[in-house]
Amino acid sequence: MSRQAKPGSKPYRAQLRDRLTALGFPEEALPAQVAKNLVVECRIPPRTAWRLASELSLDVAAHQYNAVTGDPRAGMRGTRIWEYEQWPERGVRPTVAALRVLAQVYGTNWKCLLGLRDLEQLPAKDLAEYHAETEPAVVAPEPEAPPVRALFRTEGRSEEEIGAGALDDALLLTKTNVDDVQLDDLWADLDFLGGAYTRTAPDSILGQLAVIADRTSALLKGRQRPKQTQDLLLIGAKSSAMMAWIAGDLGRYRLSRELNTAAWLYTQYADDLLARRWVRTSQARVAFWAGNGIESAKLAADGLNYHAGGRLTDAPLILAEARGWSSVQAEPQVLAAIARWTAIEDPDLGAGGEDSFFNITKDRRHYMAGTSLLSVGQASAALREFATAREAFEKLSLENRWEAMDPMIRIDMGRAHLRLDDLEGAAAQVEPLLTAGVGKQPDMVRAMLKLMATELSGPRWRSATTARHLAEALLDAHASARP
C-alpha cells in the first residue's frame, strides 16, 4: 500500500482493490472486502465504509435510494444520508426501513450497516428485529446508472446526433444538493447561536457550531448553483470565525488560529467584504488575548478597509485596533483610535445591531475603550468609560447580557483605582465579586484576575494588609474560574 494514499481515500481504495484482485478475489466480492478493511483498518463507521466501498457519493447514494424505493422524486437527499452516517455521535438515527433500502443500494445486508456503538443506541424494538432476522436479506439489483457520454467524440456522428444532448447537459446545472430551505436553516442556526452565546456555556455553542460547519463542508462537496455555493462559503466563513472567537475565550488559541485560517480561506473564495470583516474581527480578538497586540491592531486596521454597507459597524474594529496598540503602550495610536470611535459612536445601537455576534453591545464597546485608555495611563478617562459600560450593562435584558462582562468591568475599575492610588476604591469594586464567587469564566477573566493580583503584590502595595488579602482572594478566584 502506497504511503502517499491517505487511509480510506479514493487512491487508498483503488490500491486496496488491486491487492484484493491479485489475491484472487472476484469482482463481486470486492465491495464487502473493501468495506471490511475500511471498518477494521481505517476505523470508518460501517455505513460510511459501505458507501465508500460502493464508490458512491452522498448525492448518488441518495439518487439510487430513491430509485430503489420506486419513486425517483422521493425525499432522500445526500445530506440526510450524511446525517445517518454521523449517528450515534450526532446526526439522525436511521430507521430499520431506511437501513434496508441503503443495504440494497450498497449490495449488502442491513445488519452490516450497524456497528457496536449503533447497536448500543438502538431502540429496543429495532434491536429485537436485528436479533430476530437470521436469514440474509434479499439484495435487489443496483439501479442502472445512466450511460456516460464520451467527451469530444464527433467522428461518425450524424448531424442529428451533434448537440442532441446539450439540453440534458445544461439541465444538470439545475440539479443541486441544497435548497433555499436548507440555507435558511443554516443561517437561522448561526443567528440563534450568535445570540445565545451571551447566556450559554461556550463549549455547548462551540459544539453546535461545529455541526453547522460539518454540514456546510459536506454540502460544498456536492453540486450547487453559484449563488448557493457562495451562501455556503459565507456560512463556512462565519461559523469558522465564530468558533475561533469562542475557542479563544476558552484559551484554545492554537485551535482559534486554525479556525480563523479556515474562515479566511472561505472568504477568499466567497469574495465578500462583510465576511472579511467577520474574520478580521475574530482574528484581532484572538491575537490580542493570545498576547500578540501589534498583530491584533494591524488585523483590525485591515478589517476597516472592507466597507460592507453598515451591517457590521466600524466600532468593534476601531476599538480592537486601540486595544491592540494599548498592549505596547502606544499612546498616540490608542488616543487617535479612541477619538475616531467617539466620533462615530451610536449610543442607540442596540444589543448587537444587525449582526448580533460581531457587533458588540454598548457596554462592551465602552469597556474596550476603558481598557485601552487604562493601559496607556489614562486612569481617570478609563474610569468614566467603565462607569458608562456598567450602566449600559445593567440596562440590558438578562438574555442580552454577557455574564463575563460584570467581573471584567469590576476588575478593571479596581485596577484604575489602583493607578489613582485609591486602594479602598479598588477593594470596593472587586470585593462584591469575590464574595459572591466568580464561577466558571472565559480565559480572559482568569488572566485579568491574575493581573490585578500581580499589581497588588508589587512594591507600591506590598506593605498594605488590605492589598495582600485582596491579592490572595484574587488568586483563589483565578484558580476556581477555569471554564
Q: How many domains does the chain have?
A: 2
Count the Cβ atoms, other than its own, within 10 Å of residue 335: 18
pLDDT at site 150: 38
Distance between CA 480 and CA 195 in Å, rounded? 27
Same domain for 28 and 111? yes
For the chain, the residue count is 483
- Please say if the pLDDT value at position 56 is more than 50: yes
Distance between CA 112 and CA 103 in Å, rounded? 8
Report the range of poorest mean pLDDT among 224-233, 341-350, 403-412. 341-350
Cα dist from 135 to 36, 131, 237, 316, 325, whole Å: 20, 11, 49, 65, 72
Of 231, 253, 271, which residue constitutes the final position of a domain? Answer: 271
Would residue 426 count as lying in a domain?
A: no
DSSP annotation of 179 reads -
Same domain for 255 and 197? yes
Would residue 195 count as lying in a domain?
A: yes
pLDDT in tens, 249-295: 888 999 999 999 999 999 999 989 999 999 999 999 999 988 999 99
Report the range of poorest mean pLDDT among 1-5, 360-364, 390-394. 1-5
Would residue 406 count as lying in a domain?
A: no
Of 252, 271, 290, which residue constitutes the final position of a domain? Answer: 271
Torsion on CA atoms 275, 281, 286, 287, rounded to nearest 10 = 110
For residue 14, what are the domain limits? 10-132
Would residue 472 count as lying in a domain?
A: no
Cβ-defined contacts of 333-341 (< 8 Å, 24+): 333/297, 334/372, 334/373, 334/375, 334/376, 335/376, 335/378, 337/372, 338/369, 338/372, 338/373, 341/314, 341/315, 341/365, 341/369
pLDDT at site 133: 77
Distance between CA 389 and CA 401 in Å, rounded? 12
pLDDT in tens, 96-133: 888 999 999 999 999 999 998 888 888 888 888 888 87
Of 241, 271, 301, which residue constitutes the final position of a domain? Answer: 271
Distance between CA 393 and CA 360 in Å, rounded? 12
Per-residue pLDDT band at 162 (split at 50, 70, 90): low
- The cell for 83 is 446525517
Would residue 74 count as lying in a domain?
A: yes
Would residue 225 count as lying in a domain?
A: yes
| Terminal-to-terminal C-alpha distance of the chain | 44
Would residue 123 count as lying in a domain?
A: yes
Per-residue pLDDT band at 438 (split at 50, 70, 90): confident
Would residue 93 count as lying in a domain?
A: yes
Distance between CA 436 and CA 420 in Å, rounded? 26
Same domain for 100 and 197? no
Report the range of poorest mean pLDDT among 34-38, 126-130, 322-326. 126-130
Three-state DSSP state, 331? helix
Count the Cβ atoms, other than its own, within 10 Å of residue 332: 9
